[in-house]
Structure 1
């Protein structure tokens, strides 16, 4: 095999391996960003074009470059779609291995196709580009379209490089969850007797990008839904014991590794009145809302805090709800 004749295809394989190593080692920098973009947005289409059109007469250099970008944009999502139906899923390592395998296999096929071609296409030189741009009796439209295509490709590479090297901050969020007493999303204490203890696990994970002090309020609520006005009607609302606050440092969102909790707290409660109740866990960041003086009967249903439950139902407050049916104790 002549190296000069296939140096571009050999470079594709080598560059694919180098990009894999750089990404897996979490190496960052403008050179690495450009190499990664080339790996995803150019190389898959380039080797595919080399297989499909090995003859020099079939496509011009500019057409090959343009189609390489276009086919790469089409091929990479298809590879991701295929991975979605495998046990590995669409994750970084499987995607890198798949793209590298694709580039390698099609580069080898392209070498075979090029060796069988009558007049094989070989990587362009400055002289060839000049000849292509200076076609026989070129029209003004041909020259204009060629220049526009080159400028578009350069601008696209520049924009993609800038976006990759200046990524936007990740989405800021807080994970707030409750689990059953075994630490799983099952066996919640939803059926109790009066005075019987129930246990849930309250969890918080900080992805806000800064230290956050969280305040958790827990309310026992009895409400129904008014179909006429399409609004909830709160009859009873009592603060439950066990309100707490905790300050947590930020942790990054890790979609590759196993999920791990940041803060967990067992919460034990009991309800001393029968009926169908809702326990609302309300989460506040940095500072909790001010509450009015407690009513004489302890029922906040006709006071301002009722709006906290309404806001939680409308998604304006991060919250969790546990429905609990409480029955009379068994009489001996």
Structure 2
């Protein structure tokens, strides 16, 4: 076993990574191991299987080829998966690379067992100096070698940091309205006075923080003058208001879309005519409301809410509803 410690370790670490991805996907160990899994393991087992003898390659060549071949092998496996029913997704890529590391690793073990003078990696400072021809090198060559080694390790450290600390994606909130059957259709657009309408209101938080959302529901009678490019609000009634606190929900690009928060919202309108039902969404707080005039906010600065919603300054949803007399 000692003769094959490196190959057995790579196979074991590949299986360990599978476990970490499924049970501890956010762990630092998963991120660090995943870096080696993609950038080093495939090339190492492949080059060891091809050249099992000590005299065929020196240590530095094996190290360089391990990184280089990994960068070539992984995209080729991805290209092959692209033409399969599974596609280029996390699980198919993970399984394919794990199987590749295991099979080629076993072949490398077999080839090393049959070799007369097998190459077995072992850290030895004297051998490292011999590889670098340290004793024969000039001061300038030694300095350049040290700078090169520092640059290589710095690049690896920088790459590891970028991968393990990815920049947060775009911050946004999903705010949507569905018909009573859970589809973007069959909205209640024609009602009788006092008749109950029902929709499904949904919110999903992708803001990378906890957010308290405030929802206001407004019944509005307005017209738009295309000649003067102005909106005239004649009536504006507050139908409802509520709030909901939601944690951040990561975007799942692999699986099916699932809602974070939905509610069956019912409403009724007791005034005939053509109305717009506005759903306004505020984050972390809502602007103060003035006192209405006989229950109507049309003559107050609350109308700015609707104007901002029309201009896209506020997250909003709108239903056009015609209410007929009984």
The answer to whether the superposition gives a TM-score over 0.5 is yes
Following superposition, the deviation at residue 131 of structure 1 comes to 1.9
Map of 2:317 onto structure 1: 320
Q: Does 1:311 align with 2:308?
A: yes
Q: Does 1:216 align with 2:213?
A: no
Partners of 1:170 and 1:115 in 2: how far apart? 49
- CA change 1:219–1:97 in 2 (3 A) is farther
Partners of 1:316 and 1:80 in 2: how far apart? 42
Following superposition, the deviation at residue 147 of structure 1 comes to 3.0
Partners of 2:144 and 2:225 in 1: how far apart? 65
Map of 2:200 onto structure 1: 201
Residues 48 and 106 in structure 1, CA contact (< 8 A), matched pair in contact too? yes
Q: Which runs of 5+ in 2 are unaligned?
A: none
Partners of 1:118 and 1:238 in 2: how far apart? 93
Map of 1:188 onto structure 2: 187
Corresponding pairs, count? 320
Residues 63-106 of structure 1: per-residue CA shift (max 9 Å, x gap): 43344334445554665566567665665544432321222233
Partners of 1:85 and 1:225 in 2: how far apart? 55
Residues 40 and 76 in structure 1, CA contact (< 8 A), matched pair in contact too? yes
Residues 221 and 280 in structure 1, CA contact (< 8 A), matched pair in contact too? no
Map of 1:123 onto structure 2: 121
- CA change 1:166–1:143 in 2 (3 A) is same
Map of 1:235 onto structure 2: 232
- CA change 1:140–1:315 in 2 (3 A) is farther
Instruction: State which of 91, 101, 104 in structure 2 corresponds to 1:103.
Output: 101
The alignment's C-alpha RMSD in Å is 4.4
Partners of 1:298 and 1:128 in 2: how far apart? 87
Residues 206 and 248 in structure 1, CA contact (< 8 A), matched pair in contact too? no
TM-score (norm 2): 0.72
TM-score (norm 1): 0.71
Secondary structure at the counterpart of residue 263 of structure 2: strand
Residues 175 and 206 in structure 1, CA contact (< 8 A), matched pair in contact too? yes
Partners of 1:237 and 1:55 in 2: how far apart? 88
Pairing of 1:168-187 with structure 2 (within 5 A):
173-187=172-186
Residues 218-275 of structure 1: per-residue CA shift (max 9 Å, x gap): 353645484x89xx5323364355322123252543736762443413133447324x
Pairing of 1:1-332 with structure 2 (within 5 A):
4=3, 6-26=4-24, 33-51=31-49, 60-73=58-71, 75-76=73-74, 79=77, 92-111=90-109, 121-123=119-121, 125-126=123-124, 127-134=126-133, 138=137, 143=142, 146-160=145-159, 162=161, 173-189=172-188, 191-192=189-190, 195=193, 198-206=197-205, 209-210=209-210, 212-220=212-220, 222-224=222-224, 226=226, 233-236=230-233, 238-250=235-247, 252-253=249-250, 255=252, 259-270=258-269, 272-274=272-274, 278-294=276-292, 298=296, 300=298, 304-322=301-319, 324=320, 326=322
Secondary structure at the counterpart of residue 185 of structure 2: coil
- CA change 1:328–1:74 in 2 (3 A) is farther
Partners of 2:213 and 2:282 in 1: how far apart? 8
